């Protein structure tokens, strides 16, 4: 049986990580503080409300639950508006080729993303048909580093965790994959994704047979 592939979305399939971060910056500015570059990594891969909590704590701001909901909704409105301008340009290099090569080889694929916008985003980019299942932030209770999102994707694929390869760009996502018993390919910087089994720069550099040989070796 060929190991299945489960992809994180933001930062792996599409380059929306910067759009998320720039929108959090815009919100911080509205609240009267500057969100430092050092927060970029920390805001990757976690849910909208968990991200908001980090941003508010960074700015030393306390607001009611009702106000938090309003701020999160405003951030999402700005984020979706910013995505409108970019559309297909957000698909990362090598993604389409890699996904099509997996399909030709008969490798089953799914998405496991913290984003509540994942299904909408992949549908609007016409990439949704390439996945058996898209599990996103709407389908889970626990956010990464909890492995729930990947476990749900494995369940939908009907594969054991150890027969799946998770592709993930965030530290919290890599932790989720490893704690859930998955093989994990880190996407990005070797130093910040040390917990992954192997790290590659992006899907442009991905070779399925090579990755599988590393996993089984």
Q: Decide which of Mg ion, ligand B16, none touches 20; Cβ closer than 5 to 8 Å per partner kind.
A: ligand B16
What the block records as the tokens of 135 is 């599990």
CA distance 9 to 168: 8
If binding is defined by CB under 6 A, does position 116 make contact with ligand B16? yes
Q: Decide which of Mg ion, ligand B16, none touches 178; Cβ closer than 5 to 8 Å per partner kind.
A: none
What the block records as the tokens of 77 is 């409105």
Count, residues in the chain: 217
Give, as ranges, the residues between 157 and 186 that touch Mg ion (CB under 5 A): 169-170
Q: Which residues contact 111 (CB under 8 A, 6 or more apart)?
A: 6, 7, 8, 9, 13, 118, 122, 131, 133, 134, 135, 136, 153
Residue among 180, 215, 173 nearest 198 (CA)? 215
Q: How far is the CB of 209 from Mg ion (least distance, A)?
A: 25
Of 82 and 101, which has the nearer Cβ to ligand B16?
82
If binding is defined by CB under 6 A, does position 40 make contact with ligand B16? no
If binding is defined by CB under 5 A, does position 45 make contact with Mg ion? yes
Positions annotated as catalytic residues are 8, 10
If binding is defined by CB under 5 A, does position 10 make contact with Mg ion? yes
| Residues that bind ligand B16 in the complex, under the rule CB under 6 A | 8-11, 17, 20, 43-48, 51, 76, 113-117, 137, 170
């Amino acid at each position: 049986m060929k190991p299945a592939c489960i992809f994180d979305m933001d930062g792996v399939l599409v380059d929306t990580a910067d759009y998320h971060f720039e929108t959090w910056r815009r919100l911080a500015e509205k609240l009267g503080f500057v969100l430092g570059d050092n927060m970029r990594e920390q805001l990757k891969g976690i849910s909208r409300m968990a991200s908001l909590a980090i941003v508010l704590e960074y700015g030393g701001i306390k607001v009611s639950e009702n106000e938090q909901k309003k701020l999160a909704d405003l951030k999402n409105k700005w984020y979706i508006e910013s995505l409108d301008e970019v559309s297909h340009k957000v698909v990362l290099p090598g993604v389409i080729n890699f996904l099509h090569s997996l399909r030709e080889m008969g490798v089953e694929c799914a998405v496991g993303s913290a984003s509540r916008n994942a299904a909408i985003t992949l549908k609007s980019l016409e990439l949704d048909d390439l996945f058996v299942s898209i599990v996103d932030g709407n389908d889970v209770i626990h956010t990464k580093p909890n492995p729930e999102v990947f476990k749900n994707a494995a369940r939908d694929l009907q594969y054991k965790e150890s027969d799946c390869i998770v592709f993930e760009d965030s530290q919290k996502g890599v932790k989720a994959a490893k704690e859930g018993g998955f093989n994990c390919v880190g996407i990005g910087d070797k130093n910040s994704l040390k917990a992954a089994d192997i790290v590659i720069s992006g899907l442009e550099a991905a070779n399925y047979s090579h990755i599988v040989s590393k996993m089984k070796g």
